[in-house]
Structure 1
Amino acid sequence: MHNLILDIGNTNSKIAVFKGNEMVHYHVVPKLDEALLIDLIDRFAIQNSILSTVGADAGELVTILNTRTKYIAFTTKGGAEDGLFSEIDNQYKTPSTLGLDRWAKVISAHRLFPKQNCFMIDAGTCITYDLLNDKSQYFGGSISLGIGMRFASLHHFTKRLPLLKWDKDADIPIGVDTETAMQNGVLQGVINEVEGFIALQNEKYKGLKIVITGGDAGFLRKQLKNSIFAPQIIYDPYFVLKGLNEVIAFEYVQKN
C-alpha cells in the first residue's frame, strides 16, 4: 500500500511516499503543480493520499487526489464525536484556526512517543512550539517569527539595514560590522529563544522529549548539539509527514 503525503507550507511543498510506515520517496518543491502530482500518482501506483496546507488554495490538487486515489480529507476536527484520534484530548480553543501542520505533529508525537511528554519545535517560515503531555493532552503552544522572517523584517522596517541571506551551515558570527551584527542578533536571538522555551518546559514536565523539525531544524540541531539539552533532542525533519501518514493508517485500520 503506497500513500502519498503532501505538506504545503508557506515557502515550500514537501512531498513523501510511504509504503506502510516506511518512507520510500521524499522531495521538496517551491510549488506543487498538477503535472507533478499526476506523475507521482502514476509512478508509485498511489492508493491513498492526504494533504495538509497552511492556507493555500489546493482545490485543483484535491480534485486530482479525489479522482485518482482514495483521498482522506485532513482537518483539526477529531475526538469523541467522530472517533479520529479520540485518545488525544485537544483543548485548543479555536480548532478551526489551528494549523494542520501543528495538528499533524501532535498526532505524530502521540503515535511515536505514546504517554510521554513531547515538546515539538518546528523551525520553518514561522517557529512553532507545541507540547503533548504524557496524558495525551494538547493545550496549544506558541508561534514566533522564523529566521528568514526576522532578517526580512530588519530590512523592511528600517531604512538602511540590508536584506541578508544567511548560511544555515555557518557558525554564528561575532558582530564586528553591520551585517555580522544583524546575523548575530537574529541567530543568537533565535537560539536564546529556543533554549528559553526548552528550559521552561523542562521545569514543568519530567522526562521531556524534544523534537526539532522544519526547514531550519538542521541549524538548531547544530547550535544545540553541545547544550545541556542535547540528550533530550530528537532531530526529525519528517515529523509532520509521519503524522499525516498515521492518519491514513488509522483510517485504513478502522475501515478494513
Structure 2
Amino acid sequence: MILLIDAGNSRMKATTFSESVLGDVFSVPYDDKQPLDCLVSYLEAKSPVDSLVLVSVLGTKFEQAIKEYCTDKKIRLVWASSSQVAHGVKNNYDDPTALGSDRFVALVGAVKQFPKQYCIVVDCGTAVTIDGLTIEGEFKGGVILPGLQLWGQSLIGRTSQLKENNLKSPPLFAKNTADAIGGGSVYGLVGAVDSVCTKMKQHFIESGAKETSIKLVICGGDAALVASHSQLEFTLSPHLVLTGLVHYI
C-alpha cells in the first residue's frame, strides 16, 4: 500500500494511492496530540504499508523520528522537497531549497492539474501563501500572509478585554465583539487575498497572458470559506498538495 501524507502546522492530510487513483482523504487536526503520534496511528491503522510519500513543515526532529520509524517497519520513505527544477516546475526562489516544501508540492500539483495555464495558487492554512506560476511552469514568487486563525488570535492575544471571535459566519454589521473580530478576520483576509491575486493576474496580462489562460486555484483548510466570500472566481482544489505528491512516487 502507498500512503500520501501532507503534514502541516495544525493538521495532517492523508490518503492512499492505488491504480492511479487517490483514495478517501482524511484530515486530522493535531489538537492536543503530537503530530508524530497522529501519523503513527494512521500508519498502523493502514498496515501493512509499503511506501510513504510525505511532505512536512514540522522540522528536523519530526523528520528524524519518521525516518527511524520507517526504517524499523521496513517502509519505503520518500520525502518531497523543494528543488530548482522538478516535475514541471522551475523554481525561481533566491535559494530554491528555502522555498517551503509544501508550497513547492502545491505548485507541482497545479502544473499537473492545470497544464499549459498560468496559475495563481492560494493555500489557506495556518499561513496563507499566494504563488504565481507561468504557463511554462516557472514559479515567479509569491507572498505569505497570516492564516485566518492568526488574524483573530493576534488581536485577542494583545488585548485584555477581547477573548473570543466568530470565524465561521460573521455578519458584516456585527453587533457583538466576537462577531466583529470574526468579521474583521474573515473580510480582512479575503480582501488581502483578492488584492494580491488581482495584482498578480494583472501582471500576467501585462506580460502577454490572455485572461482566459489564468487560473485562480485555492486549497487548504480554509479554502472554501475564503472562496465563498471572495469577489474573484476560484477553482477549489482542496487536495492540491496530495495531488502533487503523486508525482514523487
1:222 to 212, 218, 228: 228
Matches within 5 A, 1:156-235: 156-167=157-168, 170=169, 172-205=171-204, 206=210, 207-224=213-230, 227=231, 229-230=232-233, 233-235=234-236
Uncovered stretches (5+) of structure 2, i.e. residues with no partner: 205-209
Query: Is the Cα–Cα contact under 8 Å of residues 90 and 139 in structure 2 kept in the other structure?
Result: yes
> 1:243 maps to which residue?
244
Is 1:62 aligned to residue 67 of structure 2?
Answer: yes
Query: Is the Cα–Cα contact under 8 Å of residues 109 and 243 in structure 2 kept in the other structure?
Result: yes
2:79 to 40, 62, 73: 73
1:103-136 CA distance string (max 9 Å, x none): 0011111111222101110111111101111121
1:45-91 CA distance string (max 9 Å, x none): x4332111112413222333344332222221253xxxx43x42211
**TM-score, L = length of structure 1:** 0.83
Aligned residue for 1:25, secondary structure, equals coil
Uncovered stretches (5+) of structure 1, i.e. residues with no partner: 249-256
> 1:50 maps to which residue?
53
The residue type equivalent to 1:95 in the other structure is P
Aligned residue for 2:163, secondary structure, equals coil
The residue type equivalent to 1:58 in the other structure is E
CA RMSD of aligned residues (A): 1.9
2:42 to 30, 36, 42: 36
Number of aligned positions between the proteins = 232
Query: Is the Cα–Cα contact under 8 Å of residues 6 and 14 in structure 1 kept in the other structure?
Result: yes
Tell me the percent identity.
Answer: 24
1:29-59 CA distance string (max 9 Å, x none): 22324243122132xxx43321111124132
The residue type equivalent to 1:204 in the other structure is H
How far off its partner does 1:165 sit? 4.6
Matches within 5 A, 1:25-174: 25-29=24-28, 30=30, 31=35, 32-42=38-48, 46-56=49-59, 57-66=62-71, 67-79=73-85, 84-85=86-87, 87-167=88-168, 170=169, 172-174=171-173
How far off its partner does 1:22 sit? 1.4
Rounded to whole Å, the distance in 2 between the matches of 1:62 and 1:241 is: 20
Rounded to whole Å, the distance in 2 between the matches of 1:172 and 1:16 is: 36
How far off its partner does 1:171 sit? 5.0
**TM-score, L = length of structure 2:** 0.85
Matches within 5 A, 1:4-23: 4-23=3-22
Query: Is the Cα–Cα contact under 8 Å of residues 119 and 131 in structure 1 kept in the other structure?
Result: yes
Structure 1 consecutive aligned stretches of length 4 or more whose deviation exceeds 4 Å: none
How far off its partner does 1:183 sit? 1.9
Query: Is the Cα–Cα contact under 8 Å of residues 126 and 146 in structure 1 kept in the other structure?
Result: yes
The residue type equivalent to 1:47 in the other structure is D
Query: Is the Cα–Cα contact under 8 Å of residues 6 and 56 in structure 2 kept in the other structure?
Result: yes
